[in-house]
Structure 1
Amino acid sequence: MSASFSRAWLLDETPASRSQAAWGRRYRAWLDLRSNPLAMIGLVVVVAFVLLSLAAPLLATHDPGVQDLTNRLAKPSAAHWFGTDELGRDIYSRILYGGRVTLGMVIAVVVLVAPLGLAVGCVAGYAGGTVDRILMRVTDVFLAFPRLILALAFVAALKPGVESAVLAIALTAWPPYARLARAETMTVRNSDFVAACRLTGAPAGRIVLRHIAPLCVPSLIVRITLDMSSIIITAASLGFLGMGAQPPSPEWGAMIATAKRFIFEQWWVPTIPGLAIFMASLAFNFLGDGLRDVLDPKQR
């Protein structure tokens, strides 16, 4: 009875409060997302990767850094589920701990670039004029270079490592978000509710922060989710090229770099981390497509 009451309360066409209306919108969005099988597969895989990475100390069967040269390049077996690498380290355990490094880098990049891109885009779109031209020309400069090449240049100017890789990817990833936020802002800056806010004497900063930026968030969430796969690949590419996480850190890209010479004889050594990157990227793409169908009103 309580479950049916909650569902009826959430789906009520005439909500009695703003809170009920907000929760109703969220519940309908969840129902739409749940009706998309690929989006749910992506969500399940993403959640599984996150949970497995967080529970790595509990699930790992070996210490990811311990070497056993007498057992190097062992095939997958009951003792080593995914085999061992060239130094005898357990690949399964390194994949679990590597998820912490790779996914942690992705989350750190998103935390840095999402607010930056949203702020730049909203300010440029709302202010217009000279401010818009200056901010967009800076954005164009960053967009003129391929992301990986620019990230490599930033890391080379700093020093190889996780922190440098996160900063480099963040500096190259924010321009698309800024352009998206600017486009969304320009569609609503002359709306009646924005004009009403101006008439009440609200400052420009408050209008952007409280009324315009929240309207840009759904499109930004979709873009970020779809962009997660490219961020993962860029982070893994930096690790592969020796500019990201440094050995013996169990980062997926670095694992492939050290194992690429074994791809024909001991295929499992480079293939397992490659499959982890592939599955994580594909899952974020599936989830992003589903979120676009749910959150983008143009898709309805």
Structure 2
Amino acid sequence: MADAATATAALEPVPDETAPAGAPPPPQPGAVPRRRDWLLTDAPASRSQAAWGRRYQAWLAFRRNPLAVAGLAVILVMLLLILLAPVLATHDPGIQQLGNRLAVPSAAHWLGTDELGRDVWSRLLYGGRVTLGMVVAVVLLVAPLGLLVGCVAGYAGGLWDRLLMRVTDVFLAFPRLILALAFVAAMRPGVESAVIAIALTAWPPYARLARAETLTIRRTDYVAAARMTGASPARVVLRHVMPMCLPSLAVRVTLDMSSIILTAAGLGFLGLGAQPPLPEWGTMIATARRFILEQWWVAVMPGIAIFAASLAFNLLGDGLRDVLDPKQR
């Protein structure tokens, strides 16, 4: 009997004591159902398990929207292409070959060449770095600013609320592109000026959204409990109010990225964004508009890139709204 008990104990798996607490269990025979049950349990054993379960449930809800998954796939492919631009580009984007100008798409030039003989495919890859880099820079500037202004206005109320919202109304009273043109005209044309101009015109919607969320959150019991424990207004806003506004803000940012792309490309098209010979999708369309009827590929290719990026972010935003917005559930 002792030998049988020893053999049975030897066959049992030894628990991994080095695994972090709350981490998913190690793979075992039949591990997929077991890990799924671990993530979807109604009685999580730790905060980490509960957090992983929420993430997995959000992914399952997101995956049920095929258009949102398609938008995410397009964005990931585009990001991969522009990150690997030095590897995937077949030519130097700045090299001019006047003897090969306006060449049709071929094996040597996959998307043809422009009016100076530069490879359109290579310029499209490097231009994505500029255009999408401008979008990321704008989002990193406007999202924290709008969130902070909206949360402070909604939580403080009174004079601060009226003052901050009137400033927001002033910016909202002007069309975004017109106001961005005015700011760029006051500075000098370029990528940095375009980013600053778009950022100065894009933050008011985020401030409005964050204020509306804060007006509801500040009346909740956990905010009242935080105040009763002696938390300062700044701590309440930073630790309790702003994190609750992040899901709605993330959805708005994703949906707004398409308009930011169009604004950045519009400034480049008007000659106030990225300056030649720097490749940028809007600038590429501007320099190729003279050839759109005969050599259509020069202007159509960057236009397709702008369209695909804008549509993908819109589809992704719709999927995130279904997942993160509790009113949509």
TM-score when normalising by structure 2: 0.90
Q: 2: CA distance between counterparts of 1:124 and 1:3?
A: 48
Question: Structure 2: how far apart are the matches of 1:214 and 1:181?
Answer: 11
Percentage of matched positions with identical amino acids:
76
Q: Distance in 2 between matches of 1:57 and 1:293?
A: 37
Give the equivalent residue in structure 1 for 2:24.
none
- The code of the aligned residue for 2:265 comes to A
The code of the aligned residue for 1:34 comes to: R
Instruction: Give 3-state SS (helix, strand or coil) of 1:160's partner.
Output: coil
> Which whole-Å CA distance do the structure 2 matches of 1:246 and 1:16 have between them?
57
Q: Which residue of 1 aligns with 2:18?
A: none
Where structure 1 has 5 or more consecutive residues not aligned to the other structure, the ranges are none
Q: Provide the aligned length of Structure 1 versus Structure 2.
A: 300
The AA in structure 2 aligned to 1:121 is G
**Structure 1 equivalent of residue 34 of structure 2:** 5
Which of 89, 113, 119 pairs up with 1:60?
89
Q: Residue type of the partner of 2:109?
A: H
Aligned with residue 141 of structure 1, among 166, 170, 181:
170
Q: Indicate yes or no: 2:180 matched with 1:180.
A: no
Question: Which residue does the alignment assign to 2:234?
Answer: 205
Alignment of 1:119-198 (within 5 A): 119-198=148-227
Q: Distance in 2 between matches of 1:157 and 1:250?
A: 24
Residue type at the aligned position of 1:69: L
Q: Distance in 2 between matches of 1:242 and 1:103?
A: 18
Answering whether residue 99 of structure 2 is matched by residue 70 of structure 1, we say yes
In 2, Cα distance between equivalents of 1:5 and 1:168: 52
User: RMSD between aligned alpha carbons?
Assistant: 0.7
* Other structure's SS at 2:127 match: helix
1:37 equivalent in structure 2: 66
Task: Tell me which amino acid in the other structure corresponds to 2:82.
Answer: S
Structure 1 residue runs of 4+, over 4 Å off? Answer: none
Alpha-carbon separation, structure 2, partners of 1:47 and 1:61: 21
Q: Give structure 2 stretches of 5+ with no counterpart.
A: 1-29
Superposed, 1:252-271 pairs within 5 Å as 252-271=281-300
In structure 1, distance between residues paired with 2:233 and 2:326: 27
Deviation, structure 1 residue 73: 0.2
Match of 1:283 among 309, 312, 315: 312
Tell whether 2:61 aligns with 1:22. no
Q: Which of 142, 166, 186 is the matching residue for 1:113?
A: 142
Larger Cα-atom Rg:
2
Query: Matched residues in 1 for 2:41 and 2:288: separation?
Result: 57
